[in-house]
Amino acid sequence: MGASLELKLTLARWLGRLSRVRGGGATTAPGKLLMRLQPRAIEELGARLSRGSVLISATNGKTTTAAMFAGILAETGVSVVHNQAGANMAGGIASTLLAAARPKDAIAGEIGLFEVDEFWLERIAAELHPRAILLNNLFRDQLDRYGELETIADRWALSVQSGPARDARLVLNADDPLIADLGRARADASSADAPLYFGVEDPSLAQAGMAHAADAKHCRNCGAPYVFEHVFLGHLGHYYCPNCGQRRPTPLVSASEVTLEGVRSARFMLRTPSGERPVSLALPGLYNVYNALAAAALATALEIPLADIVAGLQGTEAAFGRAETVTLADRPMQILLIKNPAGANEVLRTLALEAGEHDLLGVLNDNTADGRDVSWIWDADFELLADRVRRVTCSGTRAADLAVRLKYAGVESSRIHVDMNLKKALSSAAADIAPGSGAPLYALPTYTAMLSLRELLVARGEARSAWS
């Protein structure tokens, strides 16, 4: 095709709008069309960003970490092109770039900030030649879609050693052995190019033992089992290999004195090479402390001042569907996305910090974006809440599977209600409230269930549109 890029951009925008009207994917359709017209569109549009791009990937926390980093950038006054709706494969990233593209080879932003799906990292890095790549964690996720964890770790290792990501500065979670090991091949790099590690330095958070779903048991270097001195979350913690001596790198950016304040907030002391500052997050749980540390480490790699980092982190509110609170008729409802065992366990642990019996609305879908395989609910520790459930309403395409999981976790069946119809499930869950309690309803949806729930809330006038 001989048409100019400008013409193709216009065409893709126009056709994308048309497909949205016809009910197509709202956030990926224009980008997909653009890539059909111009296969290297991401590379060509990305090259317009004067300060380059940074990529963020992980199993859990991509959207929240990117939102935190965007908050930090906002403090510095640098303008950003960011796929904030969470569409993190090539189509979504191309759509984001297309929306920001301006005539005469311009683009509305200085730096690109993209969360990237685990299996698209190679491809996106090859096109965007990122300055820095932040890798936060690898947990077992949607195995029907992603293959096994080691496969992803192997692909990433290849990509950062000799592949398209070899020139990017790596920002790595020291506490996740699968992630930290990615820096091994770069250990001899000069200090400016050496991987920047972040991690938690607070032994008081350690759990009694490895969770049963712990995923990184064997040294990536020699295959011997790791020894964990502390486990903080899933397989994140302080570890070493007794055979080859491989051990957790010492983090340059760390969190200590961590205080978890139920489902509302968390506090910690952030330490960076330029000093330490207390940080109060408006987001709950240790998992969000890790997200904040990751964003702070990426900002440190980009030499952003500590004051901006702290201000950006403290100003970050819940990302779409991640610990977001809305008000139903007369009670608050907090939406806590659950999509895999590690993430769900952190949500359940966080809920267990709240006193009393809880009202829950669990929504389990098995659409492609959720993973068609719902086996994972048996790796999530619903037992943590078993004797703390006043009423649980189960909905979604696999409502009954979730109900059975809760029953076998120890919730009495009389407290379990099943309704596959989400609208009806939401109404009945909201209406059943302990008299005079004003108790919150905790919604635990999978990804597509969260989108449906948001749509219903928007229709009821109780939440802003996701895409506003």
Query: Which spans of this chain sit near other proteins (rule: CB under 8 A)?
Result: 140, 143-144, 147-150, 212-213, 217-218, 223, 341, 366, 372-379, 397-401, 403-405, 407-408, 413, 416, 418
Which lies closer to other proteins via its Cβ, residue 261 or residue 366? 366
Q: Which of 109, 97, 117 is nearest to 41 (CA)?
A: 97
Which lies closer to other proteins via its Cβ, residue 164 or residue 371? 371
**Rounded least distance, CB 254 to other proteins, Å:** 29
In contact, 35 and 11? CB cutoff 8 Å: no
Q: Which of 64, 74, 124 is nearest to 97 (CA)?
A: 124
The secondary structure of 373-440 as a DSSP string is: --GGGGTS-GGGGGGGEEEEEEESTTHHHHHHHHHHHT--GGGEEE-S-HHHHHHHHHH---TT----
**Exposed, middle or buried, 379 (CB in 10 Å: 0-12/13-18/19+)?**
middle
Which lies closer to other proteins via its Cβ, residue 140 or residue 349? 140
**Rounded least distance, CB 215 to other proteins, Å:** 9
**Rounded least distance, CB 413 to other proteins, Å:** 6
Question: Computed over its alpha carbons, how large is the radius of gyration of the chain?
Answer: 22
**Rounded least distance, CB 419 to other proteins, Å:** 11
Which lies closer to other proteins via its Cβ, residue 102 or residue 217? 217
**Rounded least distance, CB 237 to other proteins, Å:** 16
**Rounded least distance, CB 332 to other proteins, Å:** 29
The SS3 assignment for 237 reads strand
Which lies closer to other proteins via its Cβ, residue 22 or residue 212? 212
From residue 201, how far is each of 164, 254, 259, 286, 310 by CA, in Å?
Answer: 32, 6, 13, 12, 18
In contact, 49 and 80? CB cutoff 8 Å: no
Which residues, in sequence order, are bridge partners of residue 215? none
In contact, 15 and 33? CB cutoff 8 Å: yes
**Rounded least distance, CB 173 to other proteins, Å:** 20
**Sheet strand arrangement including 416-418:** 322-328, 331-336, 441-445, 358-363, 389-395, 416-418
Q: Which of 123, 136, 227 is nearest to 178 (CA)?
A: 136
What distance in Å separates the CA atoms of residue 5 and residue 69, rounded to the nearest whole number? 31
Which residues, in sequence order, are bridge partners of residue 36? none
Which lies closer to other proteins via its Cβ, residue 70 or residue 143? 143
In contact, 68 and 312? CB cutoff 8 Å: yes
**Rounded least distance, CB 177 to other proteins, Å:** 14
Which lies closer to other proteins via its Cβ, residue 232 or residue 382? 382
Which lies closer to other proteins via its Cβ, residue 150 or residue 455? 150
What distance in Å separates the CA atoms of residue 63 and residue 230, rounded to the nearest whole number? 27
**Rounded least distance, CB 213 to other proteins, Å:** 8
What distance in Å separates the CA atoms of residue 443 and residue 362, rounded to the nearest whole number? 6
**Rounded least distance, CB 379 to other proteins, Å:** 4
Which lies closer to other proteins via its Cβ, residue 54 or residue 416? 416
Which lies closer to other proteins via its Cβ, residue 323 or residue 444? 444
Which lies closer to other proteins via its Cβ, residue 124 or residue 444? 444
The SS3 assignment for 126 reads helix
From residue 187, how far is each of 184, 197, 278, 363 by CA, in Å?
Answer: 5, 12, 30, 44
b/e burial code for range 411-429 (CB count within 10 A of at least 16 → b): beeebbbebeebeebbbbb
**Rounded least distance, CB 321 to other proteins, Å:** 24
Which lies closer to other proteins via its Cβ, residue 209 or residue 461? 209
**Rounded least distance, CB 353 to other proteins, Å:** 25
